[in-house]
Structure 1
Amino acid sequence: MSLGDIAGMIAALAFAFLVFRLGAVIGKAGKILDETRVSLRTTTDNVQPTLTKLTDTVSLTNDQLAKVDGITTNVGAMTTNASALTSLFAATLGSPVVKVAAFTYGVRTALAGGGARSAGGRRRRRG
């Protein structure tokens, strides 16, 4: 064997070792990709029902908000109606009731003798 044959043999062994190591690295990368694919599939299978339930929940929430909006609109209408009724009551009965109350007070005062008193009827205090 010559020196060139020995160098060729060493180069061939180095190349074979390099191919072997590269194959091992590629094999590990393949396993990592397989595990990643399985993990992604599991995650997708678990997330899809959650997203479906979330969509249902959002739909039900929107329905409830629509009902609350209707209730709020009705309460606003009731408030407006109550305010109008109060104004109508005050305009219709408020003024006559005040006049009747003032008249009855005047009649009671007149009958009780609490009419206009003369200045002489009062006693002066001495200081």
Structure 2
Amino acid sequence: MENKSQLTVNVVTPDGLIYDHHATIVVANTISGELGILPNHAPIIAPLAIDEVRVRRTDSDTHVDWIAVNGGIMEVRDNVVTIIADTAERERDIDVSRAERAKQRAEQRIEEAKASHDTDQLRRSEVALHRAINRINVSKHR
């Protein structure tokens, strides 16, 4: 029998399923703003921003899992929240030193792109910087 007072949350990347738990609430940032999903939410599909996703697990009223998501989409249907993203990492899996190095590389590339007036490189570098900062911020929730 399906439990109508909880959600099933799945986060999938090209590398496979990286998260699969039950939850009482999921909060994600879409490109239109923050969206909170509770059990029995109406069906929805929303494009996600590069940001953190918060999942309050049902096995603990105080436990929240944090997931760094680099865009993607979220689908909600029949108390199942499915997030499909190019990359996503749980806070405990983030290599902070690698994220710091990625941040430094992106900052350097931004300066180079500004100096050469390369708008495409500037946009790509700004996205890389945003992703690195997101990973660093999510890692701080450990």
Q: TM-score range by the shorter chain?
A: under 0.3
Mark the structure with the bigger radius of gyration.
1
Which one has the bigger strand percentage?
Answer: 2
TM-score when normalising by structure 1: 0.19
TM-score when normalising by structure 2: 0.18
Which one has the bigger helix percentage?
Answer: 1
